[in-house]
A = this chain, B = another copy of it.
Amino acid sequence: MKLVSEILDISTRGILINQQDSRSIGVREGDRALVTNLKTKETVTIQVAVTETLADVGTAKISLASAENLGIDAGDEIEIRAAPRPESIEFIRKKMDGGRLTREETSKIVSDMTGNILSPSEITAYITAAYINGMNMDEVEYLTREMVASGDKITFSKRPVVDKHSIGGVPGNKITLISVPIIAASGLLIPKTSSRAITGAGGTADLMEALAPVSFSSSEIKKMTEKAGGVIVWGGATNIAPADDMIIKYEYPLKIDARGQMLASIMAKKMAVGSDTCVIDIPVGAGTKVADEKEGQVLANELIELGRRLGIRVECAITYGGAPIGRNIGVNLEVAEALRILEGGEGATSLIQKSCAIAGIALEMTGKAAPNKGSDLALELIKNGKAHEKMMQIIDIQGGDSKIKSGDLMFGSFTFDIPSPCDGYIISVKNRDLIDIARLAGSPVEHGAGLHLHKKPGEQVKRGEPLLTIYAEKEWRLTQAIESARVSRPVLVEGMLLSRIPKQPME
């Protein structure tokens, strides 16, 4: 049937037609239609929405994305007819019914997903089914390969190409800013793509952005890495494994992180940037994604096996994730803490040790360091200034100011000290509550916002001494962060009153 088009200025793809027309065409809401631009004769498949009032009979409202795809302007005539159901829906049904997907079936699902043939609901059904019924290693491998195939792939002529990854969930984990320049300073290539904070106080891409631009194409990443040895860029700006980004987007509202998809997600990014050697940091403990060391070992073995199938050597480091890494949380606070270590080798022991341990594994895997000597070499590359020099080179090549010093990073001028309510030793700190306080103070959007932890577990404190200092760029944000800290009490001191009935805010 012929309809006259109107353009709808929205981001989702779709075509909105009157109920009466939908019945004549023989499509229902959620069906797909073949829409032909009658000027160009080009045809695309678009999902149909049906309305009784919002589109007149004889007209079709086409979303901007779909209209651009078809080269349609307002007033143009289109031909619309029912399209067959995409085959990929049968494969989603197969997964819902407990089946195992083949490479070809996975390929069809992924290409229909990135081609906007599948709707958000259908993609969610796939993700939900894979979450409930699980994926075996064959299926995970297929998904990883299809994620890689969905976007750009970088190939370096020089080898080895190193990558690192952290499973996440630990606040203040700025080790990438230290370990990447160490690895690059040793003469290895490391094209590191990172994410922004989703529910955290700052992802590595958010931190790096305080120093230099982070949005680059895959060919720019390749060129910069070949020149400087390493980069630290935002993965979301590239067209690397876009199918992975889509899956993460649809997992987000359900707060799921299905094992199979997580494995595929990690390894697809590594494979697509051309990495052949990979170190993966698996923090375990309360508040992290991995409950304990045993579960961490299972995950490590899965990552190693998946890497083997994909031609990537993987080693994993199971680390303690029950407390923040270093003492600062928030963009400029974390960046300053990392730069200070690179500048002179001074700073929180937990941060220096972990950064050197992770970098050291890469140095050992690639033969840059002898077995068990990787961490020592990493520390040496910090102490002799090579890692700092490399970091400045990376900042420079990404278009940042390579003269920057840790002291140049500004912290919010509104500050507040949370004092210890009593004498005693620190029992524990609550990662999630610290993150929430930093976010309420404005992190990661406001770079000066965050917190500094004066005391970590095992340390002694006297009544009235500050447990943590909150920084904010806006007074109202400081107020709400203080309120949150008073209620959640993120740092527990032995001997502290844990609750009082009736309940009162902490003194």
Contacts and interface: CB of A to CB of B under 8 A. Distances in A.
Contact of A64 (B31, B54, B122): B54
Interface stretch (A247-255, A261-269, A306-314): A247-255
A240 to B, nearest CB: 18
B445 A96 contact: no
Chain copies in complex: 2
A60 to B, nearest CB: 13
Interface stretch (A9-17, A375-383, A398-406, A499-507): A9-17
A445 B253 CA distance: 39
Interface in A110-162: 119-125, 127-129, 131-133
Interface in A1-54: 8-12, 16, 23-24, 26, 28-31, 49, 51, 54
B30 A253 contact: yes
B8 A10 contact: yes
Q: Interface centre among A24, A128, A439, by most B CB within 10 Å? A: A128
Nearest to A133: B132
Contacts of A128: 96, 124-125, 128-129, 132
A288 to B, nearest CB: 19
A321 B124 CA distance: 35
Nearest to A124: B121
A198 interface: yes
A223 interface: no
A256 interface: yes
Contacts of A253: 30-31, 89, 119, 121-122
A438 B16 CA distance: 27
Nearest to A65: B54
Nearest to A63: B10
Contacts of A16: 10-11
Contacts of A98: 132
A92 interface: yes
Contacts of A30: 249, 252-253
B28 A198 contact: yes
B51 A255 contact: no
A61 interface: yes
- Point out which of A49, A120, A125 has the most chain B C-beta atoms below 10 A from its C-beta: A125
Given A128-B129, A129-B128, A132-B132, A10 B54 contact: yes
Interface string A253-286: 1111000000000000000000000000000000
Contact of A121 (B24, B121, B198): B121
A124 B98 CA distance: 17
A93 interface: yes
A254 B54 contact: no
Contacts of A12: 49
A49 B250 CA distance: 13
Given A124-B128, A249-B29, A11 B256 contact: no
Nearest to A444: B23
A177 to B, nearest CB: 21
A267 to B, nearest CB: 24
B26 A96 contact: no
A33 to B, nearest CB: 13
Nearest to A446: B24
A98 to B, nearest CB: 8
Nearest to A49: B11
Contacts of A54: 9-11, 64
Interface in A353-378: none
A291 to B, nearest CB: 15
Contacts of A29: 249, 252
Given A133-B132, A198-B28, A445-B23, A92 B254 contact: yes
Contact of A51 (B11, B120, B124, B131): B11
Nearest to A90: B255
Contacts of A125: 124-125, 127-128, 254
A118 to B, nearest CB: 9
Interface of A: 8-12, 16, 23-24, 26, 28-31, 49, 51, 54, 61, 64, 85, 89, 92-93, 96, 98, 119-125, 127-129, 131-133, 198, 249-250, 252-256, 439, 445
Q: Which 5 A-B pairs have the closest CB atoms?
A: A121-B124, A30-B253, A128-B128, A125-B128, A120-B121
6 contacts: A26-B445, A28-B252, A29-B249, A30-B252, A96-B254, A129-B132
